[in-house]
Amino acid sequence: MPRHLRVEYPGAVYHVTVRGNARQKIFDDDQDRSRFLKRLEESVETYGVRVYLFCLMRNHVHLLLETPGANLSRFMQSLLTGYTVYYNLRHGTCGHLFQGRYGAKLVEGDTYLLRLSRYVHLNPVHVGTAKTLEFQEKIRYLRDYRWSSYRGYIGKEGSLEYVDYGPVLAQTLEKGRRQTRAYRRYVESGLAVTDEEFKKILKGKAIGGEEFCARIRDAWQDLAGKAARPEDVEFRRQAPNLDGRAILETIARHMGVVEEELKERRRNSLVRPVAAQMLLKYAGLTNRATAVLLGLRSGEAVGLQARKAQVAQDKTARRLIVAIEDDLRRQISEIAGK
């Protein structure tokens, strides 16, 4: 059977689904679930991937993530291989744990990101006996479910360091603690009303508007046309990463500062947050490598800085960030065309 095409590029956002082989369970107990999340955390740090949310079910997993380094395949191989080795050793089994290749659909941002997050987080109340519960019981079940990122989103437990909450919460158009309340209301409203339109969108090869889905279809067709033996080849569009210094020069020019100012700590300034975000997204650097370039103490500090840029609400700031990204994408296209 031909392998699914993999379109990969810096900053791509994916809805990833991983299922047990022949629908078998992939988690026997909470120790297995904890080990999977630990492996997820390790792989996020190694490959510089941003996990927006996750949901672990008995025989499948949902992930919503972004790949600044256009490295989805390497990230998923690390995650799934590491967990499979652990599972087989612990349970005395052998062979394949997961069903074929994982599913990965590209996702357009903004409202599609928000709607998809609701769909993923509501998974626990749509299966088994939970789907027969009364409305209020479903809400309690959902809020108490330990094996998804939802509790962190609504403040029922502390934020996880390897989950990037900012991009999804920013879509609520609220600020501060109001984001958490608005997101909780949005997700739980889905228990009363089924989003039939979004269910149809989920069946496509990409999740987004018509123009976005058309671009992804064109990319797949382009990859397929270049393949001599599609049944034996894993296709991917590998956009080149930019040099970190080139990115810093571009940011400094657009923001009207000298490069050294990108490394300075300034209260209420987006200069260093934007630099952190763009280095992660377009240089393909890990958090640690970005910390070295920007003079930050740790990879965690880089993540905090990048989130400040992601959730910026000021219209002028957003326009400036868009202009910087357009410039960086142009540079990538020029390199790829050589």
Distance between CA atoms of 83 and 56, rounded to whole angstroms?
13
Residue 130 tokens, joined: 């939970």
| pLDDT 10s digits, 235-245 | 334 456 788 88
Residue 223, domain member (yes or no)? no
167 lies in the same domain as 71: yes
134 lies in the same domain as 55: yes
Give yes or no for a contact between 271 and 257, defined as CB atoms under 8 angstroms apart: yes
45 lies in the same domain as 134: yes
Which CATH number does the domain housing residue 267 bear?
A: 1.10.1750.10
Residue 303, domain member (yes or no)? yes
127 lies in the same domain as 17: yes
Residue 211, domain member (yes or no)? no
Mean pLDDT computed over 216-221 = 76
| pLDDT of res. 181 | 94
Give yes or no for a contact between 179 and 172, defined as CB atoms under 8 angstroms apart: yes
| pLDDT 10s digits, 188-199 | 999 987 777 888
Distance between CA atoms of 263 and 275, rounded to whole angstroms?
9
| pLDDT of res. 153 | 96
167 lies in the same domain as 65: yes
Residue 135 tokens, joined: 């409305």
- The residue with greater pLDDT, 222 or 122, is 122
| pLDDT of res. 29 | 96
Structural domain total, the chain = 2
Distance between CA atoms of 174 and 219, rounded to whole angstroms?
35
Residue 105, domain member (yes or no)? yes
Query: Which string of b and e fits 306-315 if b means at least 16 CB within 10 Å?
Result: bbbbbbbeee
Mean pLDDT computed over 3-20 = 84
Query: Which of 169, 202, 235 corresponds to the end of one domain?
Result: 202
Parent domain of 142: 12-202
Query: Which of 142, 169, 202 corresponds to the end of one domain?
Result: 202
197 lies in the same domain as 258: no
3-state secondary structure the chain: CCCCCCCCCCCEEEEEEEEEHHHCCCCCCHHHHHHHHHHHHHHHHHHCCEEEEEEECCCEEEEEEEECCCCHHHHHHHHHHHHHHHHHHHHCCCCCCECCCCEEEEECCCHHHHHHHHHHHCHHHHCHHHHHCCHHHHHHHHHHCCCECHHHHCCCCCCCCCECCHHHHHCCCCCCHHHHHHHHHHHHHCCCCCCHHHHHHHCCCEECCHHHHHHHHHHHHHHHHHCCCHHHCCCCCCCCCCCHHHHHHHHHHHHCCCHHHHHCCCCCCCHHHHHHHHHHHHCCCCHHHHHHHHCCCCHHHHHHHHHHHHCCCCHHHHHHHHHHHHHHHHHHHHHHHC
| pLDDT 10s digits, 43-75 | 998 888 999 999 999 999 999 999 988 889 999
| pLDDT of res. 336 | 65
Reading phi first (left if > 0) and then psi (alpha if -120 to 50, else beta), residue 18 is in beta
188 lies in the same domain as 251: no
Residue 281, domain member (yes or no)? yes
32 lies in the same domain as 170: yes
Query: Which of 172, 202, 232 corresponds to the end of one domain?
Result: 202
Give yes or no for a contact between 282 and 10, defined as CB atoms under 8 angstroms apart: yes
44 lies in the same domain as 189: yes
197 lies in the same domain as 250: no
Mean pLDDT computed over 147-164 = 94
Residue 270, domain member (yes or no)? yes
| pLDDT of res. 231 | 37
Distance between CA atoms of 224 and 237, rounded to whole angstroms?
11
93: phi then psi, degrees, rounded to nearest 5: -110, 180
Which CATH number does the domain housing residue 56 bear?
A: 3.30.70.1290
| pLDDT 10s digits, 130-142 | 989 999 999 999 9
196 lies in the same domain as 251: no
292 lies in the same domain as 183: no
Distance between CA atoms of 104 and 40, rounded to whole angstroms?
16
| pLDDT 10s digits, 166-179 | 999 988 888 888 99
Residue 268, domain member (yes or no)? yes
Distance between CA atoms of 94 and 85, rounded to whole angstroms?
9
- The residue with greater pLDDT, 111 or 44, is 44
pTM: 0.68
Residue 227, domain member (yes or no)? no
Distance between CA atoms of 121 and 148, rounded to whole angstroms?
7
